[in-house]
């Protein structure tokens, strides 16, 4: 991430003990405490904005932390001129570096996830997977499980990081993988855990899926549009995440 030096336009003094305490809490090792601090600071006016801006300045590019993603989301809808000016100069497109070994443009996905437009983001995710698979997949609008083997790890990591950073670490391929491994790779239990299936009946798309942060952990993205085990098996396997 950008390391923008402080100047007179963003150097707003902290004006309360509460702000200082929240600034310390923001650097907690616990995500829940961090996110709580982010939300409270965003509601405190310019003194809170100053703390959030400082946190973004001090965050290195490769961290792309969930807290940084939440800060960006809240500052992007803030009425603070200082916040809007800072984001426009330092992070015009978001906080996640968009790395692709195949020149895929992931900015549309980043924009949707920043805005928490999760249903459209899910559609764009499938579109990007098709682009990774090649022109034939783009034309048919879905991916063969055998095509996943050729996906560059960097691209999968970018898509996954976008989902995790802008969902308070609730969504993403790697979240689904964590659940799958924790269930001893039992697919039936995974479908139930993700709420993709209930009482042996597949969840109907799109109306029965949950398109906000109240969804179960790992609920999104819906990478197995055909409800096939093989697609998910290839996507969640170690070979998909090892260079």
Q: How far is CA 211 from CA 25, 29, 41, 98, in A?
A: 29, 28, 26, 23
- Fold (topology level) of 107-240: Arc Repressor Mutant, subunit A (1.10.10)
Please name the residue that has the structure tokens 């993205």: 221
Rounded CA gap, 62 and 59, in Å? Answer: 8
* pTM of the predicted model as reported, rounded to 2 decimal places: 0.91
**Per-residue pLDDT for the chain (243 aa), expressed as one digit of tens each?**
444 433 434 444 445 789 999 999 999 999 999 999 999 999 999 999 999 999 999 876 556 799 999 999 999 999 999 999 999 999 999 999 999 999 999 999 999 999 999 999 999 999 999 999 999 999 999 888 889 888 999 999 999 999 999 999 999 999 999 999 999 999 999 999 999 999 999 999 999 999 999 999 999 999 765 557 888 888 898 877 776
Rounded CA gap, 68 and 63, in Å? Answer: 9
Confirm if 57 and 3 have CB atoms less than 8 A apart: yes
Alpha helix stretches (DSSP H) within 91-228: 107-114, 118-133, 135-140, 145-148, 153-165, 173-182, 187-193
Domain boundaries, the chain: 17-90, 107-240
């Amino acid at each position: 991430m950008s390391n923008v030096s402080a100047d007179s336009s963003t150097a707003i003094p902290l004006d309360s003990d509460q702000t200082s305490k929240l600034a310390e809490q923001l650097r907690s090792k616990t995500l829940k405490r961090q996110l709580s601090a982010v939300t409270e600071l965003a509601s405190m006016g310019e003194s809170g904005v100053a703390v959030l801006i400082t946190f973004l300045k001090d965050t290195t590019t490769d961290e792309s932390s969930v807290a940084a993603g939440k800060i960006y989301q809240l500052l992007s809808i803030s009425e603070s001129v200082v916040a809007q000016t800072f984001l426009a100069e330092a992070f015009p497109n978001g906080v996640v570096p968009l790395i692709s070994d195949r020149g895929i443009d992931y900015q549309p996905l980043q924009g949707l996830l920043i805005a928490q437009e999760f249903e459209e983001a899910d559609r764009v995710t499938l579109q990007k997977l098709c682009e990774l698979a090649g022109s034939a997949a783009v034309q048919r609008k879905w991916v063969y499980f055998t095509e996943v083997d050729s996906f560059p790890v960097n691209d999968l990591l970018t898509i996954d990081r976008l989902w995790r950073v802008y969902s308070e670490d609730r969504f993403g391929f790697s979240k689904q993988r964590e659940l799958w491994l924790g269930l001893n790779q039992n697919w039936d239990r995974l479908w139930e855990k993700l709420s993709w299936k209930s009482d042996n009946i597949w969840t109907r798309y799109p109306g029965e899926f949950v398109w906000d942060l109240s969804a179960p952990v790992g609920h999104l993205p819906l990478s197995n549009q055909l409800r096939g085990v093989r697609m998910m098996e290839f996507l969640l396997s170690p070979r998909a995440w090892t260079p």
